[in-house]
Structure 1
């Protein structure tokens, strides 16, 4: 599900802003972009997000501006070693003037600036930032619930469509033993005029075909799944994964219905059912 929230704050001469946004995702994917010097907050922020959300691709940006607090420059020696190794490798292969020191230091990642965190105010700033993250997540949850309410209308429409198709399959005349018996008689007549089968034998064969083509069990399970899906939607909460599982079961029953079908019209209903189920599942995978 999609959503956006922002929270600001200021503590002891430092101001900060926390932005969090989510887009659709089947699992929970968390990406953090924290201000330099605040990497130690990553574990706590991930824990806050994990206890609030269960699905979606989450991006959280934390920016911090400090007034009157100095910072320090430091050399990222791992990045510097990588650059120097690359220069040594290219030295004998490319004719070029040797790079200057300021050119090397200007390469991204070699020389970095790290904000210093004041020991006296560090814990207060840390607590304020985590509070801001919690506030932003609450606002994000409200936005996602509002979207979920709108999505529930779409899901219920899809369930109505599936229910109507199940009712059409239920009422289709090709399911009756009498229709199957008439079709069997016609097939025998078309094969050869000299083949004579007793009415009892035809009735036995028709019963066997009707048993193989019986979709009563599939229709009952589809009806039960529709009721379960409606109950989950009405209950609310994080129902996305359970609805996704139900959508898979919907699809399983629709596949079996198509494989058992003994009429073109019934197969067409099954295919329409599969299309409606695919639309349902596509929407379900986007909700919490």
Structure 2
């Protein structure tokens, strides 16, 4: 008999921003690893529904949950409906939605002192408040069952800082701090809360930028110990571990999956 250490044992998982890239791969990893149902959140219905079809082709129930994670009321309503469609409360939440949101301010990537609140909020709303909104929507059900997994995808920018992305760096660091607080508050209910910090990963948008400028890509990769761009499955592998029973005594931590861009004690 082979023991599968990352079998999700019929649990219901929800992944935000799962219509493409890392989120999509996490959702598919869950479907391949024993999840009973996978809820696919995205702002764009066609993206969510496309991933749902991929999940159902694997013989697992998929549910599209179309909403903007920065809208608290919308998140609670849509997640509650998705959980009913999935057949129970959510056991695993992956906060993956990020970047600068669905309607980024065109000045969001300028230095913070050159812009103002509208540009700052492009990053703060989705990367910080989006994480809080989605977590608040699922935690009551986890407390009731006295079990759950909360996993937030942050960025190495939140660990080491990044010029021209100062607000993004702060929002990601804030999300990690929120998860540490959640870990302390929820551990008594057998709910764990952890983060995965990623660096350059070949999501559709990033892959296109890297392919358009090979010289810049080569220069960027000189900062990595493993000299390749990350793949969505690199991240999904770590997320799957943190979602599984194998990580039941791991909480309040941040795990870099970054090809050695930065090191962590």
TM-score range, shorter chain: under 0.3
- Which gives a bigger RCO, structure 1 or 2 (Cα 8 Å, sep 6+)? 1
| Larger Rg over CA atoms | 1
* Structure 2 length-normalised TM: 0.22
**Hey, which of these two has a bigger chunk of helix by percent?**
1
